[in-house]
Structure 1
Amino acid sequence: MNEVLKEFQETLESAHQKLYAMPAALTDAPWAQGKWTRKQVLGHLIDSASTNHQRFVRGQLADHAVIPGYHPDAWVEVQKYQELPWLTILNLWYAYNQHLLGIASKIPAEKYGNVIQIAGETFEAPLQWWVTDYVRHLRHHLGQIFSGLDSDDTTSG
């Protein structure tokens, strides 16, 4: 898990610098034709952080936790990320992920085997899988935000 946590931290720092420097015109633009805008993708990553916050905490509190799922498109729509200032979205995303990194860094090794299941679904996986998947998911969507902007692939998934 040390490598995953190191990757998480490095991804946050690298992406934060690049996101902060992103021109406003790009944040309002879809990352690809017919896709979410970069604001909406970063908003989705806030929603993902919120969802995984529950997983990281509740997954430590029970041997088998059943946690509600969510519908990403609906969450992005209801929260109107597109209407918010970029720095508001960015600052919340960064702070929330710093908090998640802190939680993930302190998970006792014996808790990584605790199982998490999404309510209403049959798929379940140990907490270690969810932490690793969160970092993968984060990097995937950051790759979308940075798509076509430069050749630095440190945040692409």
Structure 2
Amino acid sequence: MDIVTRLELLIKEIPSMMDTISDEDFNKKHAKDKWSKKEILGHLCDSATNNHMRFVKIMLSEGLISCEAYLQNQWVSIHDYQNNYSKSELTALWKQLNLQIYYTLKGASENDFNKQCILPNQSIVTLEWLFTDYIEHMVHHMKQIEGK
């Protein structure tokens, strides 16, 4: 299965998985300095926002570009997902952001996927590598949310 198709399947499956989690479990913080499941999903929305911008910049570039890091804890704090969003609102946001990524990358050419960028750690990777890493990061966190 190609990675774009994998994202398409995740977009279809994850909202249903979210419906199986009680609001109490979704909102529960196990420690003050640990994210709740709600905040993890919010973090994935931030990741989608930042990575969508990276993906588009890479696709539009004619040369090697630098991908900036983002301060993930501060993004989650600024958005205050714990208090500002319901589970259904956050799930809908996650879905829409990832649909935007899906629609962007389903039309990407092989040449686009082979374009490169420099990560904050100075390593050089392709758009394909970065997108695959994005999906793996998402799946890792979805397993945390699901409790697996």
- Note whether the superposition's TM-score is higher than 0.5: yes
Amino acid at match of 1:125: V
Moved over 6 A (4+): none
Q: Residue deviations 1:103-157, cap 9 Å, x none?
A: 11111111112111235x3122111101111111110110110015xxxxxxxxx
Shift in Å at residue 39 of structure 1? 0.7
- The equivalent of 1:90 in structure 2 is 91
1:141-156 equivalence runs, <5 A:
141-148=141-148
- The equivalent of 1:10 in structure 2 is 9
Shift in Å at residue 98 of structure 1? 1.1
Q: Whole-Å Cα distance in 1 between the matches of residues 124 and 3 of structure 2? A: 20
Asked whether the 8 Å contact 2:119–2:125 carries over to 1, the reply is: no
In structure 1, the residue corresponding to 2:105 is in which secondary structure? Answer: helix
Matched, 1:125 2:122: no
Q: Whole-Å Cα distance in 2 between the matches of residues 45 and 14 of structure 1? A: 15
Matched, 1:116 2:94: no
What's the % identity of the aligned pairs? 23
Q: Whole-Å Cα distance in 1 between the matches of residues 52 and 139 of structure 2? A: 17
1:5-154 equivalence runs, <5 A:
5-30=4-29, 35-62=34-61, 63-83=63-83, 84-118=85-119, 121-148=121-148
Root-mean-square deviation (Å)? 1.7
Calculate the TM-score normalised by the size of structure 1. 0.85
Q: Structure 1: give runs of 5+ residues left out of the alignment.
A: 149-157
Q: Whole-Å Cα distance in 2 between the matches of residues 20 and 59 of structure 1? A: 35
Number of aligned residues:
145
Q: Whole-Å Cα distance in 1 between the matches of residues 65 and 7 of structure 2? A: 24
Q: Residue deviations 1:39-63, cap 9 Å, x none?
A: 1000000000011101110011113
Asked whether the 8 Å contact 1:20–1:90 carries over to 2, the reply is: no
Calculate the TM-score normalised by the size of structure 2. 0.89
Asked whether the 8 Å contact 2:7–2:135 carries over to 1, the reply is: yes
Q: Whole-Å Cα distance in 2 between the matches of residues 74 and 95 of structure 1? A: 22
Q: Whole-Å Cα distance in 2 between the matches of residues 100 and 111 of structure 1? A: 14
